[in-house]
Chain A
């Protein structure tokens, strides 16, 4: 299967504009960019995709080995960039995807020319001299939440999975269930996301970098944003007056504007 189908790659916007690649984080899929993409499309070529295991990617391409490390996700990102033959694109990574972007940019410097990190965190678990905000036990608790919500979504999804052409409204349900993933796959992504430590990788960043954080974010608090900013010399930090971990949804206009201003400044 080709990469564009495997990763459900969607390309919109100005074909001759500079390219921005929007990469989703743990939890949902490229739908998360639904409010941001239209604001970038007049000026940029906008690439969205789902990591294998998320959204409408090809689940048969998923393996616990590859996607049990951030490198596996970075390979997806690089392979998507290569399949589109991108050069010097701005890679916009939300949450854990910001760290995936760091790895991808190191692996394919000719394809990724800049990084925009949306609510990034290089390390979620507290450690000596570092506060990420969580403990390993908290992550296990998240896995339980994934599991206990699986019963609900599996019931909702069953008719869709069984195929029911005479009930087209089920297609809409499927779309609404975009945050629902196979819990085994979600558990691997959750562990990979929340147990990884990318602090050393920040030192390898050699491209212009934008950091966008929210004023109130329980997953990536402001001290983590400040840590990333300090670790990447020359990076720019923008703090949005927004709440939550997904400013693409809670403050789409400001998020799009921050990305656009950063991408425009490079051209």
Chain B
């Protein structure tokens, strides 16, 4: 092949073949050199055409005429480039190809289809260059069209695969969204939409799932139980997911049903204990911790009796700025043993006092650089600092605190805070 360097001009044929080589190699080489520019154009392995700036075809090669099944004089001066295209291709040409060509002076590898005289379509890849005059003014457009039948078939396969993949992804996303909305509805059924208005009592709640894709296992409620009494509870079931949700639902509705008939708070927890031990027998014990309480109006405040089954102690904040635990030591987890004992406690909420119930997602959050447990004592101190805002102020402060935990909050957290509004300043003087 090094001999090619001797002279690329087609005219340089004379005695070149008489050189050093022999036989058929020389004959082939001679044929190569005799390849005229005209023949290179006419018989090129791609379609060639030159058009005026208005698209009128001024020159076209034999290869393209062959593809089109047309005579040269049908095409030259009579047809425009867009006349060779399918209607869709014509639209694409006018809205994409032509503007790009005008702006850039060239476009590469645009997929189009040319229409043969007999209506047959042939996929091609079109590349165009604008030839400009000395002053930069556009003179004509040179276009090559390469046969893209094989490539288009291959691309169609790719497109089909892409569409299938996109469809599968859409399907998966739809399924996920449906599941998410089912979970949300189910989660909402485990908690009251809004708390009832209790005369003389302020209440605030917050619920935070550690993961929106998993059903949480915390629950709370506040509801009337006849006369002027109100019952409330807050609890945390073992585990997460659908089983925990089903347990939560059972716990919530059992407590609501038992509340009006229970002689005291411990009796309500005992009913729940029986329900759980009856329901979850054998090798799948399920249990929960819970605080259950009853409120009774008492002068300018409320008399509060609670019972706890294995639940962290409630915090009581006082109008004077103090905060103490309402201790309920020794209460068993609910649902473990048939005759579990539950511990009762009693307090009074006067004006400016609040009772905070929470689940251990809050106190077991990991905080700080050492990822220490937040802890019950820190919660008590925090509650004391935020006591003067009443239930709303305390819960708002806690929500802000939880926000700051970020990834340190690994479990669901429920808050229920009940309080007696502080007496207006100057009242009674």
- Render A111-128 as a binary contact track against B, CB cut-off 8 A, 1 for contact: 000000000000000000
Max chain B C-beta neighbours (<10 A), residue from A26, A135, A244: A244
Q: How far is the CA of A147 from the CA of B98 in the complex (A)?
A: 18
- Quick one: given A27-B99, A246-B102, A250-B102, are A149 and B92 in contact (CB under 8 Å)? yes
Q: Which residues of B contact A34 (CB under 8 A)?
A: 103
Instruction: Say if the beta carbon of A223 comes within 8 Å of chain B.
Output: no
8 A Cβ contacts from B256-287 to A: none
Partner of A148 from B55, B99, B155 at Cβ < 8 Å: B155
Cross-chain contact of B55 among A149, A219, A244 (Cβ < 8 A): A244
- Assess whether A144 is interfacial by the CB under 8 Å rule: yes
Distance between Cα atoms of A105 and B159 in the complex (Å): 41
Residues of B within 8 A of A (CB): 53-55, 80, 82, 86-92, 94-96, 98-100, 102-104, 109-112, 152, 155-156, 158-159
Listed residue (A31, A95, A138) with the most chain B CB atoms within 10 angstroms of its CB: A138
Is A157 positioned at the interface, with any CB of B under 8 Å from its CB?
no
Residues in B neighbouring A145, C-beta threshold 8 A:
88-89, 91-92, 111-112
Known: A244-B98, A245-B98, A249-B99. A141 touches B111 (CB 8 A): no
CB distance from A145 to the nearest CB of B (A): 4
User: Can you report 12 A-B residue pairs in the complex whose CB atoms are below 8 A from each other?
Assistant: A142-B88, A142-B91, A143-B88, A145-B88, A145-B91, A145-B111, A148-B111, A176-B100, A178-B103, A179-B99, A244-B98, A249-B99
Chain A residues positioned under 8 Å from B82 (CB to CB): 218
Encoded as 1 (CB less than 8 Å from any B CB) or 0, chain A from 12 to 37 comes to 00000000000001111001101000
**Which single residue of chain A is at the shortest CB-CB distance from B111?**
A148
Flag if A149 contacts B110 (CB, 8 Å): yes
Q: Is the CB of A138 within 8 A of B87?
A: yes
- Contact status A151-B158, CB under 8 Å: yes
The reply to whether B96 and A219 form a contact with Cβ atoms under 8 Å apart is no
Residue of B53, B87, B95 near A245 (CB, 8 A) is B95
A145-B112, A147-B159, A243-B53 known; A218 vs B99 contact (CB < 8 Å): no
Task: State whether A140 touches B110 (Cβ < 8 A).
Answer: no
The 7 closest A-B pairs by CB, nearest first: A141-B88, A27-B95, A243-B54, A145-B92, A249-B102, A138-B87, A142-B88
Q: How far is the CA of A133 from the CA of B335 in the complex (A)?
A: 78
**A246: which B residues are within 8 A, CB to CB?**
94, 98-99, 102
Q: Please provide the chain A residues from 67 to 125 with a CB less than 8 Å away from any CB of chain B in the complex.
A: 95
Q: Give A158 to B159 CA distance when docked, in angstroms.
A: 17
Contact A149:B111 (CB < 8 A) given known A27-B95, A140-B88, A244-B55: yes
1/0 per position for A55-72, CB-CB distance to B under 8 A? 000000000000000000
The residue that B90 contacts in the complex, of A32, A147, A178, A218, with Cβ under 8 A, is A218
B100 CB contacts on chain A under 8 angstroms = 28, 176, 178-179
In the complex, the answer to whether B96 meets A138 with C-beta atoms within 8 Å is no
| Minimum CB–CB distance for B52 against chain A, Å | 9
CB distance from B120 to the nearest CB of A (A): 15
- Give chain B's interface secondary structure class: helix
Question: A133 → chain B, closest Cβ, in Å?
Answer: 9
Q: Is the CB of B89 within 8 A of A179?
A: no
How many residues does chain A have at the interface if contact means C-beta atoms less than 8 Å apart?
38
* Alpha-carbon distance between A146 and B159 when the two chains are bound, in angstroms: 12
From A95, A134, A135, A216, B54 is in contact (CB under 8 Å) with: A216
Question: Which of A28, A95, A139, A179 interacts with B88 by CB under 8 Å?
Answer: A139
A67 to B84 alpha-carbon distance, docked (Å): 32
A245 touches B94 (CB 8 A): yes
A217 CA to B98 CA, complexed, in Å: 12
Chain A positions within 8 Å of B110 at CB level: 149, 152
Cα separation A34 to B99 with both chains bound (whole Å)? 11
Considering the chains assembled together, what is the distance between the CA atoms of A181 and B311 in angstroms?
Answer: 59
- Cβ of A25: which chain B residues have Cβ within 8 Å of it? 95
Within the complex, what minimum Cβ distance (angstroms) separates A29 from chain B?
Answer: 10
B contact residues around A32 at 8 Å (CB) = 99
Contact of B98 among A140, A141, A249 (CB under 8 A): A249
Interface members, chain A 210-235 (any B CB < 8 Å): 216-219
Q: Which residue of B lies closest to A34 (CB)?
A: B103
A145–B110 alpha-carbon span in the complex (Å): 9
Nearest to B152 among chain A residues (CB) is A148
Q: How far does the alpha carbon of A143 sit from the alpha carbon of B163 in the complex, in Å? A: 14
What residue of chain A has the Cβ atom nearest to residue B100's Cβ?
Answer: A179
Instruction: Give A95's nearest chain B residue, CB to CB.
Output: B95
Chain B residues near A194: list those with CB within 8 A.
91
- Not counting A217-B94, A219-B91, A244-B94, a sample of 14 additional A-B residue pairs whose C-beta atoms are within 8 angstroms of each other reads A27-B99, A138-B91, A139-B88, A144-B88, A145-B88, A145-B111, A152-B109, A176-B100, A176-B103, A218-B94, A243-B53, A245-B98, A246-B99, A249-B102
Closest to A249 in B: B102
Give the distance in Å from the alpha carbon of A49 to the alpha carbon of B98 in the complex: 21
Q: How far is the CA of A141 from the CA of B95 in the complex (A)?
A: 14
Considering residues B55, B90, B91, which has the most beta carbons from chain A within 10 angstroms of its beta carbon? Answer: B91
A26 touches which one: B86, B95, B158 (CB < 8 A)? Answer: B95
| C-alpha gap A39/B112 in the complex (Å) | 34
Measured CB to CB, the closest approach of chain B to A193, in angstroms, equals 9
Are A31 and B159 in touch, CB under 8 angstroms?
Answer: no
- Bound: A146/B383 CA distance, A: 63
Q: What are the residues of chain A within 8 A of B104 when measuring CB–CB?
A: 176
Q: Is B111 within 8 A of A152, CB to CB?
A: yes
- Chain A residues with Cβ under 8 A from B95's Cβ? 25-28, 95, 179, 219, 245
